[in-house]
Chain A
């Protein structure tokens, strides 16, 4: 079974804080993704990575950065958290050559 884990299920941070969300997959997948999901807006892609140290902007990268130093780990960084970044954050991974994508359990982030 594919296993994607995220560092926290729930997180509460203050405006202006730097926030790190971690994602780890154990299936040697090349591709990893960060989404946010908000009611009425669906899933929106923030960033993705197709290899170690490689990253591509998604649809809403503003206010976020990412890091992929190891194949199994993909981190999302909120440089200075704002209240409009309160959301469910979902990490996903998939192997090269396949488009079957697997999600982690999600992190519900609240910025106050």
Chain B
């Protein structure tokens, strides 16, 4: 089983809608969770960190963590064309040896 899985294919959402991305992780003891945004040809940019169960909001972004079910989600409200990017989920496993485990990413396309 992969450490971090992002299984959805490309997500197309109309401008102004909510984009919802999901990520599951295999190591139940993981404590730190991150979402990165990566524009085509650019490097990943940290947009959200979450450490406790529940929701964390930052502007139009909301991260949701459920440790019992081992998933972390990212909601993008009022999606804008500038949100079109690949979103990477990253998890720090307890035996991660000082390193993050990354998912392969989900592409989001916001249609004007």
Contact = CB atoms under 8 A, between A and B. Distances in A.
Interface of A: 31, 33, 40-43, 45, 48, 50, 56, 58, 90, 99-106
Contacts of A105: 42-43
Task: Indicate the size class of the contact surface on chain B.
Answer: 20 to 34
B45 interface: yes
Most buried by B among A31, A50, A103, A105: A103
Given A33-B99, A58-B99, A99 B34 contact: yes
A99 B102 contact: no
B99 A103 contact: no
Interface of B: 32, 34, 36, 42-46, 49, 88, 90, 92, 97-100, 102-105
Contact of B98 (A41, A48, A100, A103): A48
